[in-house]
């Protein structure tokens, strides 16, 4: 198997993340309806692990409120 340069590897990872973002946004829209663009931007700002978590959590969502609360829980500071 040929070696992959770090640049190509990074581009692949970014492509996967963008694809995951797009899929999760489509699933959210199908599940809860239209989503405010500012909320979509919050979803796009999530790291890959948070996107995975959202992908699982969205199965339990029934309203935009559920999504907003989930996003808020990711922004709350962690107590030391």
pLDDT band of residue 3 (cuts 50, 70, 90) is confident
Rounded to whole angstroms, the Cα distance separating 62 from 21 reads 19
Q: How confident is the model at residue 77 (pLDDT cuts 50, 70, 90)?
A: low
Domain boundaries, the chain: 43-75
Q: How far is CA 45 from CA 4, 21, 35, 48, in A?
A: 27, 9, 15, 9
Predicted confidence (pLDDT) per residue in 49-70, tens digit: 999 999 999 999 999 999 999 9
String of DSSP letters for 12-32: HHHHHHHHHHHHHHHHHHHHH
pLDDT band at 28 (very low <50, low <70, confident <90, very high): very high
- Give the pLDDT mean for 2-29: 81
């Amino acid at each position: 198997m040929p070696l992959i340069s770090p640049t190509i590897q990074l581009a692949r990872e970014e492509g996967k993340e963008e694809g995951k973002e797009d899929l999760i946004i489509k699933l959210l829209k199908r599940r809860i309806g239209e989503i405010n663009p500012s909320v979509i931007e919050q979803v796009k700002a999530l790291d890959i692990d948070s996107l995975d978590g959202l992908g699982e959590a969205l199965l339990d969502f029934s309203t935009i409120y559920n999504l907003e609360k989930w996003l808020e829980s990711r922004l709350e500071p962690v107590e030391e």
